[in-house]
Amino acid sequence: MSRTGTIIMKRTEYLQIERKPAVLQRIGLSRSTLHSKIQQGLWCPPISLGARAVGFLEHETDELIAAHINGYSPEQLRELVKNLVAERAMLVGAES
């Protein structure tokens, strides 16, 4: 079972949104590099928090950091991002 599948129940109890500056500090990348990774499907897209603010789900950032540490290939990262984004819909549905 994937890492995301094993911890989905914990996530429905507690979801944390991190603002972009906090994520950039955690991952050590520039804004333009993060934007490029999002465009390439190598990082989860942000969630709109308002007209001029975006955030990222903390658990998605955690998963992607772990994937980079574990040496995931670009194809594996794209698959992980795809699964994490699909999981968002399940999380929202589970909380309704």
> Which H/E stretch holds residue 47?
strand 47-50
pLDDT in tens, 9-52: 455 567 899 999 999 999 999 999 999 999 999 999 999 999 99
Is residue 48 classed as helix, strand or coil in its secondary structure?
strand
The overall pTM is greater than 0.75: yes
**Which residues span the domain enclosing 87?**
3-95
Cα-Cα-Cα-Cα dihedral sign, residues 42, 9, 7, 31: positive
CATH (domain of 45) = 1.10.1660
Residue 60 predicted with pLDDT over 70: yes
Rounded to whole angstroms, the Cα distance separating 85 from 43 reads 10
Instruction: Assign 5 a pLDDT band (cuts: 50, 70, 90).
Output: very low
The answer to which of 23-27, 79-83, 87-91 has the lowest mean pLDDT is: 87-91
Residue 42: how many other CB atoms lie within 10 Å: 19
Which CA distances in Å does 47 have to 18, 23, 56, 71?
A: 10, 13, 6, 26
Q: What pLDDT shows up at residue 95? A: 52
Number of folded domains that form the chain? 1
